[in-house]
Amino acid sequence: QKEVEQDPGPLSVPEGAIVSLNCTYSNSAFQYFMWYRQYSRKGPELLMYTYSSGNKEDGRFTAQVDKSSKYISLFIRDSQPSDSATYLCATKRDSSYKLIFGSGTRLLVRP
């Protein structure tokens, strides 16, 4: 079983839609949760960073962590064509250098 599971997509939505991206993880010791966005031919760019359970909002983006079900989500409101990219979830244990990534979900927002 992979430590972090993520549906590869692609996920295609019309402009303005609410997008929900999700990951599940297997290790209850994971404490830090991140979402990265990766455009084609670019490196991953940090979008959201949360510790433990709960919600965090930044503009059109909301990250949600449910540690009881080992489920992490990223919501994008009013999606734009410029949001078209691959979204990577990542997690790690406390005091660990090793960030465990999902394989990424490719999102396409149609104009």
Binding site for another protein (CB under 8 A): 2, 4, 8, 32, 34, 36, 41-46, 49, 88, 92, 94-104
Residue 38 CB neighbours (<10 A): 15
Closest by CA to 28, choosing from 62, 64, 54, 3, is 3
CB of 18 to another protein, least distance (A): 25
- 3-class state of residue 4 by DSSP: strand
CB of 14 to another protein, least distance (A): 26
CB of 34 to another protein, least distance (A): 6
17 phi and psi angles, rounded to 5 deg:
-70, 160
Nearer Cβ to another protein (40/69)? 40
